[in-house]
A = this chain, B = another copy of it.
Amino acid sequence: MSVLDFLFGPPLRTDEDREERIGPEKGIPIFGLDALSSAAYGPEAALTILIPLGAAGIASIVPISISIVVLLAIVYFSYRQTIEAYPNGGGSYTVATENLGHRAGLLAAAALMIDYILTAAVGISSGVGALISAVPGLQAHTLALCLGILLLLTIVNLRGVREAGGVFMMPTYLFIACLLLLIARGVWNVVSSGGQPHAVVAPPAMPAMSASLSTWLIVKAFASGCTAMTGVEAVSNGVKAFREPVTKSAQMTLTIIIAVLATLLLGIAFLVRAYHIGATEPGTAGYQSILSLLLAAATGRGWFYRISISSIIVVLALSANTAFADFPRLCRVIAKNGYLPYAFSLRGRRLVYSEGIYVLTILSAILLTIFGGVTDRLIPLFAVGAFLAFTLSQTGMVWHWRKSDHPKAKHYMVVNGVGAVATGITVLVVLVAKFLDGAWITVVLIPALIAFMVAIQRHFQSVAEETTETAELSTVSICAPLVVLPIDRWNKISVKGLRFALSLSGEIKAVHTVIDDKPDDLAQAWPHLVEEPARKSGFPAPELVCLCSPFRYVITPVVDYVLDLSSKNPDREIMVIVPELVEHKWYHYALHNQRAQGLKALLLLKGNQRITTVTIPWYLKE
């Protein structure tokens, strides 16, 4: 167990839960990494769409970013209210299920689950992508790097929430500090130069305009920029991870995350326009990220540039952590309602929902392996799930406040209503703008996932219906079982089996499979070895049943005999005693035929409710 302890820390007692809870300082890295890191790719995604507009496109980034920040603000106020209303965790799934019914809940759940799996895979691979463009020599190890980071995230998260927060604090705050300093310096440059700042390293000139400004292009840029808003859901879903006062801690965390994100988005948009920085075509030789160009333009390529770029790379790679923080919590709530196996709702040795972490790791590893660590093409799939979940959550909150007698219910209802409409429109915009780029995959996957969860729920439902019992114990017709004991030859193991059988029942059938046609020693010796001693001491004599096996099978004759006995005694339990050698060294098992295992498996497969098997172990001495 010491390896487990070393990797994951010693197990935590259930009552240590309180100490594991976190405040905003750790909540921001844990639940905010995904949202904050989007500052590094959201504006870039929008600007890439605007490349064909040339210099005119750069100007459009400011209104687009303002629209996104307005939407962000609407979503922020809505989720603030949700956290207040659901102090036990108010993710979209919970809110939608409680207010709009199970179907809406499952829709939100499926959308979010797909979103989180994508976040994990794409987050890691985009971080590794950024690293590789900084250190091209690592190209050949793309997949290995991705899987390495995935493993790191898995282990850190399995170590518990508090430790994960500790690990991710430094890079997160470094990232925030660097970008805020960049914006401050940039804005100072712009203001002090009267709006015409001099770029320390000039950005490449924009290509000539090759398309005309159209609403469609602006809408597409907006839809791309909206990827910056995924991950906002996380805090409200993870309220239970925060320490007392729970609601306040969670709200404070959300406020800081959103405020920082809004500042970054607006600041970047402002500076990009002031410095005339446009996106470069990804995948081409001259490609540089927007933040790299902006840093170079505002501060030059000195140590600040290098530190900032490093922090961006690290935060991108770790942004997958939001998925690790939230996916298991989402699975837990779904499992509590029976739509996922019960194990998802159990907390592991470090008080985290380990099953969810395992599943997320496995699915992300599969995605990363299939795509060889390059998952750019999955990015368009992103925003649909997140905004669908937002919309369902906000709509659910509108219903929630309608039924509520909270003094401000009306006011709250309006806020959530505005959120629902705004995010609902965004879903449609993103879906239309990105449908052919890959959003259709989400449209296909969501119903499949819902069908899967419904099937699971039906299965558990039917198991529960079959096994539910409300009546008290009935002792009618309890009667000792018929005991069947396969005996190969007379040895200590068969003696042990017989003694055990005699302790349980008066009706014992010792079955002996005869393979060759030689005269059988055991049958001749039975009366002397067993019957007489049993009778003498007042026990009923066990009967020896010899089974012929013309085809030299040893297991099937016993199974057939037991099934026959069971059908001839429809009111009796049949208990089959299976002696089993327990070896000291695992490789010794290769020397023995695994008849005990075979017999037990076949009895389970072909048997019925009334046939039970007993394993009698015989431990070999060392």
Q: Is B620 touching A466 in the complex (CB atoms < 8 A)? A: yes
- Return chain B residues, CB-CB under 8 Å to A515: 14, 346
- Return chain B residues, CB-CB under 8 Å to A460: 591
Q: Is B550 touching A13 in the complex (CB atoms < 8 A)? A: yes
Q: Is B517 touching A15 in the complex (CB atoms < 8 A)? A: yes
Chain A residues with a Cβ under 8 A of chain B = 11-15, 341-343, 346-349, 456, 459-460, 462-463, 466-470, 472-476, 478-481, 490-496, 498-500, 502-504, 515-517, 528-530, 532-534, 537, 539, 550-552, 573, 575, 580-582, 588, 590-593, 600, 604, 607-609, 611-621
- Return chain B residues, CB-CB under 8 Å to A468: 491-492
Looking at the assembled complex, report how far the CB atom of A581 sits from the nearest CB atom of chain B, in whole angstroms. Answer: 7
Which residue in chain B gives the minimum CB-CB distance to A616? B612
Given that A550-B14, A552-B346, A617-B611 are known contacts, is A478 also in contact with B466, CB under 8 Å in the complex? no
Contact of A500 among B472, B500, B573, B616 (CB under 8 A): B573
Which residue in chain B gives the minimum CB-CB distance to A531? B473
Which residue in chain B gives the minimum CB-CB distance to A343? B593
Which residue in chain B gives the minimum CB-CB distance to A10? B551
Given that A15-B550, A469-B495 are known contacts, is A503 also in contact with B573, CB under 8 Å in the complex? yes
Q: Is A604 touching B582 in the complex (CB atoms < 8 A)? A: yes
- Return chain B residues, CB-CB under 8 Å to A469: 490-492, 494-495
Query: How far is it, in angstroms, between the C-alpha of A346 and the C-alpha of B592 when the chains are bound?
Result: 13
Query: How far is it, in angstroms, between the C-alpha of A503 and the C-alpha of B618 when the chains are bound?
Result: 25
Contact of A341 among B342, B591, B604 (CB under 8 A): B591
Which residue in chain B gives the minimum CB-CB distance to A468? B491
Contact of A551 among B11, B573, B613, B614 (CB under 8 A): B11
Which residue in chain B gives the minimum CB-CB distance to A594? B343
Q: Is B467 touching A480 in the complex (CB atoms < 8 A)? A: no
Query: How far is it, in angstroms, between the C-alpha of A528 and the C-alpha of B495 when the chains are bound?
Result: 41
Query: How far is it, in angstroms, between the C-alpha of A619 and the C-alpha of B459 when the chains are bound?
Result: 14
- Return chain B residues, CB-CB under 8 Å to A609: 496, 617-619
Which residue in chain B gives the minimum CB-CB distance to A497? B612
Q: Is A472 touching B13 in the complex (CB atoms < 8 A)? A: no
Query: How far is it, in angstroms, between the C-alpha of A515 and the C-alpha of B345 when the chains are bound?
Result: 12
| Residue of A468, A476, A580, A612 most packed against chain B (CB within 10 A) | A612
Given that A503-B479, A582-B604, A618-B467 are known contacts, is A552 also in contact with B14, CB under 8 Å in the complex? yes
Given that A469-B492, A551-B14, A551-B349 are known contacts, is A604 also in contact with B592, CB under 8 Å in the complex? no
- Return chain B residues, CB-CB under 8 Å to A476: 537
